[in-house]
Structure 1
Amino acid sequence: MSDNGREWQILEKAVMASVDEQRKARRWGIVFKILTFIYILVIIIMVSSPSKHKGSAIDSSGTHLAVVEVNGEIADDSEANADDIIAGLNDAFTATNSKAVVLRINSPGGSPVQSAYVYDAIRQLRAEHPNKKLYAVITDLGASGAYYMASAADQIYVSPASLVGSIGVIMQGFGVQGLTQKIGIEDRTMTAGNHKAIMNPMAAVSPEEKAHVQKLLDTMHQQFITAVKQGRGQRLKENPDIFSGLFWTGQQAVELGLADGFGSVKTVNKLVGTDEQVNYTTKKNPMDDFIRKLGASMGETIAAKLELGNDLKVR
């Protein structure tokens, strides 16, 4: 074959390779367009979805007991977050045919901030609706931040076997500086600010830093104690262990004045004179997580394409 023929073969292969790359690029372009369309469509559906509590089922309900549930750990990103609990309580109190409201609790507690938000909202709603009582019903567990919320209720009902209390504040940590020295690990943490690495497990805690953290915990603990005393009033018995962080059975809780009696949501139904219940608990839309994950995935893809670094963090 002549040199001229070989040159044409090489040129033909180069052209075909270029055409193949263009086809692949077009296919990927179509894929990304479809994903973008799906992403936008999901957002539109989310925005246009009607509110959970505006449906005809609740609007047409007769006289009923309004129920709002608090399940699991109390945290900003959990099912038991302040925004959703307060939204459910608002709907429950403002519903025309609700005779009373029940906060049904089964939670070990969690964020003191989220708990305080709900506590304050309950007290405000009770002031705005003086003729509509709020009852707290603790089932298996109503401890720490969950009891913080419950203490704002008009009355608290428990089972004799419920676990109640744990009025305290905790900050967990550990130190491994001795171990790291033994195995030859060097701590290279760098900061701007003398105490930015406070509670670093790779270093010893100075007396000054320990005192600072303890003061923070004592302040939050006192806020918790004040809220419980304000909510429970003269019903609390004089017992220094109440605020020690100990938890109690439901039976002990009644004896200590932490609860008013034994009962369930059905008990409250009888108290207010209606057999009907309507659940006003605000549930997170299942599409929220999908959108967040999709958005994060797209962001990671773009960042990877742009080769963005993420070595320096300000926290």
Structure 2
Amino acid sequence: MGTTQRLTSRIPMIGDKTDRKDVVAVVKLHGVINPQPTPLARGVINLATVETALTRAFDHDRLKAVALQINSPGGAPTQSGLIAERIRQLADKKNVPVLAFAEDLAASGGYWLACAADEIFAHRTSLVGSIGVISGGFGFTGLLDRFGVERRLYTAGKNKSRLDPFSPEKPEDVEWLGKLHNQLHEMFVDWVRERRGDRLTSEEELFTGDVWLGAKAQRLGLVDALGSLRDVLAERYPDAEIVFAEPKKPLLARLGIGAPAAALLDAVESRVAWSRFGL
């Protein structure tokens, strides 16, 4: 081998992977789970907003694990289910473990997402659980009467206008909604049992819609251990590089502009969701 060949043989080639570290990819799932992405919504989670981040996270060549950094009061059950199923599809395809880390809150749909992981961790101050179903609204019939406004609503099908906020509430509509809630609750409970298995304890407490701090959640089997993302990953994968896969921000959010009214409505809706847990 000549001098030139000896020198060039020591230069790493472009695309050479011999010196590359193993990777743990982190996906942030922060915000209210809402099927309606808005131009300004920075804190909205749905399958459309997180798909690219999940795909990038699971696409690393030397992937050792994927970590979900969860901070969510929940929201739409369908989007919770779709995201959790997508996480399991990618995890099974890549055959890598998924670890979930609850931050301030992993409640309701946020906990549904956490259950997509093989292991769940929480901080001792995290709020975890809220395995239940909730919906709400307003009734404006008195307001219309006060201002002399007449409600006109035309339908085909006797149940088409259930729970119309401008019409008096009907007991049969409330009963119908309760049945839907019970069905969704059963699906939620089945998902938690499927994913947590015999790690669950004291089921009388678990599915009431209550939330618990990290240590109690661990005793109930809702989480596996207490610990922060950095500490757990440093212990489990000391030689791996931690990389973050960020969901794409809407265009107007990236530009920092948008309609003030839309931003205000988004903020109010988000504030109500978080305030149910005192946050």
1:211 maps to what in 2? 175
Where do 1:97-116 residues align within 5 Å? 97-116=62-81
1:268 maps to what in 2? 233
2:101 maps to what in 1? 137
**Which of the residues 142, 161, 170 maps onto 2:134?**
170
Tell me if the contact between 1:173 and 1:199 (Cα under 8 Å) persists in the aligned partners. no
Is 1:237 aligned to 2:201, yes or no? yes
Partner amino acid, structure 1, of 2:123:
S
Supply the distance in 2 between the matched residues of 1:225 and 1:283 (Cα, whole angstroms): 31
Partner amino acid, structure 2, of 1:145:
G
Where do 1:86-101 residues align within 5 Å? 86-101=51-66
TM-aligned CA deviation for residue 152 of structure 1: 1.4
Supply the distance in 2 between the matched residues of 1:98 and 1:269 (Cα, whole angstroms): 15
Tell me if the contact between 1:68 and 1:88 (Cα under 8 Å) persists in the aligned partners. yes
Number of aligned positions between the proteins: 234
Tell me if the contact between 1:65 and 1:269 (Cα under 8 Å) persists in the aligned partners. no
Supply the distance in 1 between the matched residues of 2:233 and 2:144 (Cα, whole angstroms): 57
Distance 1:208 1:250, change over 3 A: same
Distance 1:202 1:288, change over 3 A: closer
Taking CA–CA contacts closer than 8 Å with sequence separation of 6 or more, which of the two structures ends up with the larger relative contact order? Answer: 2
**Which of the residues 183, 187, 191 maps onto 2:155?**
191
Tell me if the contact between 2:131 and 2:209 (Cα under 8 Å) persists in the aligned partners. yes
Tell me if the contact between 1:269 and 1:276 (Cα under 8 Å) persists in the aligned partners. no
2:277 maps to what in 1? none
Q: Which shifted more, 279-288 or 93-102?
A: 279-288
Is 1:65 aligned to 2:29, yes or no? no
TM-aligned CA deviation for residue 180 of structure 1: 4.3
Distance 1:263 1:197, change over 3 A: same
2:5 maps to what in 1? none
1:313 maps to what in 2? none
Tell me if the contact between 2:163 and 2:170 (Cα under 8 Å) persists in the aligned partners. no
2:190 maps to what in 1? 226
SS of residue matched to 1:251: helix
Tell me if the contact between 1:175 and 1:201 (Cα under 8 Å) persists in the aligned partners. yes
Is 1:161 aligned to 2:104, yes or no? no
SS of residue matched to 1:110: coil
TM-aligned CA deviation for residue 275 of structure 1: 5.1
TM-score, length-scaled by structure 2? 0.75
Partner amino acid, structure 2, of 1:86:
E
1:75 maps to what in 2? 34
Supply the distance in 2 between the matched residues of 1:286 and 1:93 (Cα, whole angstroms): 25
TM-aligned CA deviation for residue 185 of structure 1: 4.1
Distance 1:143 1:96, change over 3 A: same
2:268 maps to what in 1? none
Distance 1:239 1:125, change over 3 A: same
Q: Which shifted more, 170-179 or 137-146?
A: 170-179
Is 1:121 aligned to 2:121, yes or no? no
Q: What residue ranges of structure 1 are gaps of 5+ in the alignment? A: 1-55, 295-315
TM-score, length-scaled by structure 1? 0.67
1:146 maps to what in 2? 110
TM-aligned CA deviation for residue 200 of structure 1: 1.5
TM-aligned CA deviation for residue 219 of structure 1: 1.3
Partner amino acid, structure 2, of 1:231:
R
Supply the distance in 1 between the matched residues of 2:210 and 2:133 (Cα, whole angstroms): 11
TM-aligned CA deviation for residue 263 of structure 1: 1.0
Distance 1:119 1:218, change over 3 A: same
Q: Deviations over 1:274-309 (max 9, x none)?
A: 35210112222536887xx89xxxxxxxxxxxxxxx
Supply the distance in 2 between the matched residues of 1:61 and 1:107 (Cα, whole angstroms): 34
SS of residue matched to 1:221: helix
Q: What residue ranges of structure 2 are gaps of 5+ in the alignment? A: 1-14, 260-279
SS of residue matched to 2:162: coil
SS of residue matched to 1:94: coil
Supply the distance in 1 between the matched residues of 2:129 and 2:243 (Cα, whole angstroms): 28
